[in-house]
Amino acid sequence: MARFTTRRPAFLPSFLSALAATAVLTTACSGPGGVDLGNDWKGSTTFVLAKVDGLVTVVGINPDKARAQSLAVVPQQSDDDDSVSPQIVQLADGRWLLTVPRKGGKPDRRYEVDRKEKTLAGMTGDERLRKVLPGKTYVAEVAGLPDTGSGKQSSVLVKDPAHWTAKRELKIPGTIGLAASDPASDTVCLAGGTKAYAAGMTNREVTDVSVPSGLDVSALACPSGRPVLVGSASGGSGAVKASLKREANATTVSVTGGRVDAVTATAGSTLLVAVATGDDTEILELDATTGEELHRVKVKDVAASLDIRPTRAGWLLYTENDVTRVTSKGAAKTFGLPGTLLDS
């Protein structure tokens, strides 16, 4: 066995100091609360929010390298409302906006993700507990019954994202349980109870759609402003099967053989539906017009997905602590989030 001498050369102390300084520069820096922050701002093509070491953190997702890094810690305030999850969303012009709910009916705190400066820029906010839905020209901010007081209707506030000025308010009957939008359209899709709605942000028109009997709607998409209601049909069993029906004002997708966990519309006029089957998840890609099944992929050991997103490197399937990148040919790569997913 080789033996090493304990005699130190004269240059060793200075060499070790230089080496330590280099290590500091090449490893992740420590942010607020001790969260280790990465530097992959350029490679991250999408962002999520996660609770990392007890702090709300912006996490960058690099689909090409199958990597997730904490990039910025959201400033904490004493009036943060931890009972309501914060939200992050990409606007039609490419900007990323995040909102943090506050206690006591106070306006949400808002930040814009500044990729150039690698930081979060504070914004003025005057609304509370609203889900932000990006449209082509405007942005819809949707609130449910707790904000109306009457108990009979919900509201959609339409804003101009250039200056965040309010343009108009739309009234929607009943409770809004699901909401979705398409940055290529100025119509938002809403659902609650046995009704769904398409609400025009420019023309103020609200079109209501009845939910088919026996369909338990659990997910909603809004390609080109058209409501797509997706859920599990009663009485179904066996292999996963999806049946698409296109009506005048909406599209319904009935799924049997599994539990619908998530749906999203792609730019290529298709729908991605994540269906849980025991300990696994099946992803179905459907033609949004005809319902033809284009691809089907089984992702093993993913029992409950929270979201699914298309990227150029493959579909991203989110769970509480992990992300799985899946291609249409079935190749899957799972990588961990630095914390617990809050919003994607």
Could you please report the per-residue DSSP string of 133-173?
A: EE-SS-EEEEE-GGGTSSSSEEEEEEEETTTTEEEEEEEEE
The Cα-based distances of 239 to 30, 275, 298 in angstroms read 48, 11, 12
Contact predicate 198/249, CB 8 Å: yes
Portion of the chain with pLDDT greater than 70, in percent: 87
22: pLDDT confidence band, cut at 50, 70 and 90?
very low
Nearest to 94 by CA among 42, 46, 29: 46
268: pLDDT confidence band, cut at 50, 70 and 90?
confident
Contact predicate 311/46, CB 8 Å: yes
Q: Determine the Cα–Cα distance for residues 96 and 6; give it in Å rounded to an integer.
A: 55
Q: What is the CA 188 to chain-centroid distance, rounded?
A: 16
Give pLDDT, residue 39. Answer: 96
pLDDT over threshold 90, residue 325: yes
Nearest to 262 by CA among 227, 295, 291, 305: 305
Average pLDDT, the chain: 88
Portion of the chain with pLDDT greater than 90, in percent: 70
* Per-residue pLDDT reduced to its tens digit, 193-222: 889 999 999 999 999 998 888 888 999 999
Nearest to 276 by CA among 256, 253, 254: 256
Contact predicate 284/327, CB 8 Å: no
Give pLDDT, residue 332. Answer: 96
Q: Determine the Cα–Cα distance for residues 316 and 307; give it in Å rounded to an integer.
A: 8
* Per-residue pLDDT reduced to its tens digit, 24-35: 333 356 667 789
344: pLDDT confidence band, cut at 50, 70 and 90?
very high
Nearest to 228 by CA among 164, 267, 273, 193: 273
